[in-house]
């Protein structure tokens, strides 16, 4: 019971922060400067809170969880397969997207300028995706296992929390309900695979490698939408 209780607090402090960040920055605030400050504050919180809980509250030792060769291979294969699926879905349904409104919504972020978009690609692939794996695949998944007593249920909970803020972001960027539903199915599936990879190999780097490959495909398609 004590372990379960000790898992609820860190899950609450970390698991819903990305959703709160998206709601504030995209839904309830018209001040770009305030939105950016809140956005980066949430990112810093997501970086520091799990580390503080792990090192200071639970008194654990630091670990880099370096991947095995087998883990890297499986992570790479999973990323390539999911990227192929992403591209096929784009080929089948890309024409249904309202790209004009999407580009209009992105103009305020500066991402419609090539240099800014390139910087964004580097950030999302090498920093943001790694942060998401650190938060959702390591911290949230482990705390969910402690809370629920089941790896399978923990993987599902982690996938739901990961998908939630992405679904809200897609809504604000103009996706219609069936496109959001389709994307959420893909996000849930990918997140579950990445959480399974973490449970299997106990290395965030394995999950990140798979995630980064998928992001290359996603931002490649984004380039086609904006600049193609």
- Between 42 and 111, name the one with better pLDDT: 42
Tell me which long-range contacts 90-94 makes (C-beta under 8 A, separation of at least 24). Answer: 90/221, 93/179, 93/182, 94/221
Please determine, for residue 136, whether its predicted confidence score (pLDDT) is greater than 60: yes
Domain range list for the chain: 66-227
Closest listed residue to residue 143, CA positions, set 43, 12, 52: 12
Q: How many residues does the chain have?
A: 228
Please determine, for residue 142, whether its predicted confidence score (pLDDT) is greater than 80: yes
Mean pLDDT of all residues in 115-123? 95
Judged by average pLDDT, the poorest of 33-37, 88-92, 112-116, 208-212 is 33-37
**5: pLDDT confidence band, cut at 50, 70 and 90?**
low
Tokens for 173? 């960027």
**35: pLDDT confidence band, cut at 50, 70 and 90?**
confident
**213: pLDDT confidence band, cut at 50, 70 and 90?**
very high
pLDDT tens column, 73-91: 999 999 999 999 999 999 9
Q: Counting Cβ atoms within 10 Å, is residue 75 exposed (0-12), middle (13-18) or buried (19+)?
A: buried
The DSSP call for residue 2 is: H
The DSSP call for residue 28 is: S
pLDDT at 113: 93
CA dihedral 110, 115, 118, 120 (to 10 degrees): -30
The pTM (predicted TM-score) of the whole model is 0.93
Tokens for 74? 């499986």
Q: Which residue matches tokens 């990961």?
A: 162
């Amino acid at each position: 019971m004590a372990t379960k209780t000790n898992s609820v607090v860190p899950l609450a402090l970390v698991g819903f922060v990305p959703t709160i960040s998206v709601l504030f920055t995209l839904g309830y605030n018209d001040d770009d400067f305030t939105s950016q400050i809140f956005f980066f504050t949430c990112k810093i919180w997501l970086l520091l809170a799990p580390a503080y809980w792990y090192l200071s509250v639970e008194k654990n030792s630091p670990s880099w969880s370096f991947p095995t060769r087998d883990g890297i291979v499986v992570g790479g294969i999973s990323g390539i397969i999911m990227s192929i699926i992403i591209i096929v879905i784009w080929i089948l349904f890309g024409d249904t997207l309202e790209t004009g409104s999407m580009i209009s919504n992105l103009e305020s972020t500066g991402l419609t300028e090539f240099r800014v978009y390139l910087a964004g690609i580097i950030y999302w692939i090498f920093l943001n995706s790694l942060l998401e794996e650190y938060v959702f695949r390591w911290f949230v998944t482990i705390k969910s296992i402690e809370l629920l007593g089941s790896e399978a249920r923990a993987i599902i909970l982690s996938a739901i929390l990961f998908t939630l803020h992405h679904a809200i972001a897609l809504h604000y960027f103009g996706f219609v309900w069936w496109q959001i539903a389709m994307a959420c199915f893909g996000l849930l599936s990918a997140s579950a695979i990445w959480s399974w990879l973490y449970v299997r190999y106990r290395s965030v780097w394995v999950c990140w490698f798979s995630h980064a490959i998928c992001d290359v495909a996603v931002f490649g398609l984004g380039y086609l939408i904006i600049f193609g």
